[in-house]
Structure 1
């Protein structure tokens, strides 16, 4: 039976879903009539309750999917279809320590907290205070977040924790922060990123190939439902298509030793030559920038 303070999911005869907190007098008033919370509490999960007009409502326990879909939003949220894969790839489980940046409305943070369990730790960074506060409110609303620490912090200066088992960035320009990742994670940790456009993917890959990262994967998940009618099975007219590109990699030191033992074919040799050319160009650019900064510092003698 639903207990005081819990969330309960109520489904109308037409399939409309209502999430309500179990509190005295928190009744539902709608076109189907009055649905009393006292009746919901006495009915229990998996049962049917009726409004004063006799309309039947199903009483259900909310799933993680329901909670993620029900968060209050001020930002674009990560969809459940992506969240499941993210948590699997990062290896999130009871006792795992995860760093997140880009808390936003907290849909992924909610799921990370759920999977990390009582012994897990989620450390999420958000540069905008209003989003950090919204994330905390959504965690409290969902009844999770006891294992979550929120930081009002811009990761341009690095992360506020280290020794993490996994890391995930949902920020506009993740390539700008890759250099801070090795100091924040354990050797061999898995890192993930989400970006909406292919140009962002390319910029991130260029930075990741500088190392120390291996096993780079780029994925896009599309979810197409089917009409569940046995004698007329066919796809739904609409689907959840592109929501973002997922990029994963694993921290790995000593990659040059491994690559030296790999026999490359013609295509692989061309790809490796292109990579080395990009690396050389990047080092040259970094050297030029450092030289310009030094010149500026030498020329600034305070003279008017």
Structure 2
């Protein structure tokens, strides 16, 4: 049985073409691709790539300035934060949440809209494996080109489970029997009708949006379309800790808000979603609200508002 795509690049001695991440004594990272006969240069001196080719991962090299660097293959979270960008990348903390809460499994059939720089595509491809299917849609050709280069650089060539289409999802979506749909775009509500037809019953829709207004409109639009269960929305934040002897404290910096995530599951055809029993907060659908439930929350999904 052949190895999964990219697996050979994750183990064994360093080889020509491998990505290498160097860590200096101050914890700073430098990522480059191994090439025979080349030299790696820093302001603290240089060393030949040949010194690492054939060496085991976790080796230490010294520059001509006698500075030691630890050499490891970059983890996927490291790679996506250092790769060339067109659009902003989906941060690893959000990609991990998407893989977990959108329940991305080996062999899954996934549609992604808004490929950006290829960060989330790389995470999804590694999760679904060679037997899955990831069809990514990106409306900007320049972003699609950068994403394709980044994904192929990570896996060492084209991934057999990946198809990339330049164009709007709602105009080009032809996939059927899709298990998961991931929307990373400005107006995901514009695609709900198209993706609801593509998703299998029980399939998961996951949206990644940046602002509270996008979040609110997306949630209300999902409720309005009537073929999903009640959406769940959240955000994640990461705070590292400094540990040095008895000096144990949180770092002064943290990765705070990057975006909101929400998920909803496709109901069976012809099924009416259960009526929401939660009473809307006073003013939630006031005069200034112009979303799908502008009738004050008395539509079919919400039922009458108790007086």
Does structure 1 residue 259 correspond to structure 2 residue 274? Answer: yes
In structure 1, what is the equivalent of residue 231 of structure 2? Answer: 216
Structure 1 vs Structure 2 CA RMSD: 2.4
Contact 2:223–2:230 at 8 Å: present in 1 too? no
1:12-27 aligned at under 5 Å gives the runs 12-27=24-39
Task: Work out which of the two has the higher radius of gyration on C-alpha atoms and give 1 or 2.
Answer: 1
In structure 2, what is the equivalent of residue 114 of structure 1? Answer: 126
| Unpaired segments ≥5 residues, structure 1 | 281-304
1:69-218 aligned at under 5 Å gives the runs 69-143=81-155, 146=159, 147-210=161-224, 211-218=226-233
Does structure 1 residue 233 correspond to structure 2 residue 248? Answer: yes
> Secondary structure of 1:48's match?
strand
Identify if the C-alpha distance between structure 1 residues 196 and 269 changes in structure 2 by more than 3 Å, giving closer, same or farther: closer
Identify if the C-alpha distance between structure 1 residues 123 and 9 changes in structure 2 by more than 3 Å, giving closer, same or farther: same
CA distance in 1, matches of 2:255, 2:171: 36
Contact 1:68–1:111 at 8 Å: present in 2 too? no
TM-score by length of 2: 0.83
Deviation at 1:158, TM superposition (A): 5.0
In structure 2, what is the equivalent of residue 54 of structure 1? Answer: 66
Identify if the C-alpha distance between structure 1 residues 159 and 55 changes in structure 2 by more than 3 Å, giving closer, same or farther: same
Deviation at 1:140, TM superposition (A): 1.4
Deviation readout 1:238-286 (Å, 9 max, x if unpaired): 1111111111111113553x627x9x57x37999995443879xxxxxx
In structure 2, what is the equivalent of residue 277 of structure 1? Answer: 299
Deviation at 1:53, TM superposition (A): 2.3
CA distance in 1, matches of 2:97, 2:123: 11
Which stretch of the first structure deviates more once superposed, 269-278 or 184-193?
269-278
> Secondary structure of 1:95's match?
coil
Deviation at 1:3, TM superposition (A): 1.3
Contact 2:15–2:54 at 8 Å: present in 1 too? no
| Unpaired segments ≥5 residues, structure 2 | 1-12, 285-292, 303-307
In structure 1, what is the equivalent of residue 264 of structure 2? Answer: 249
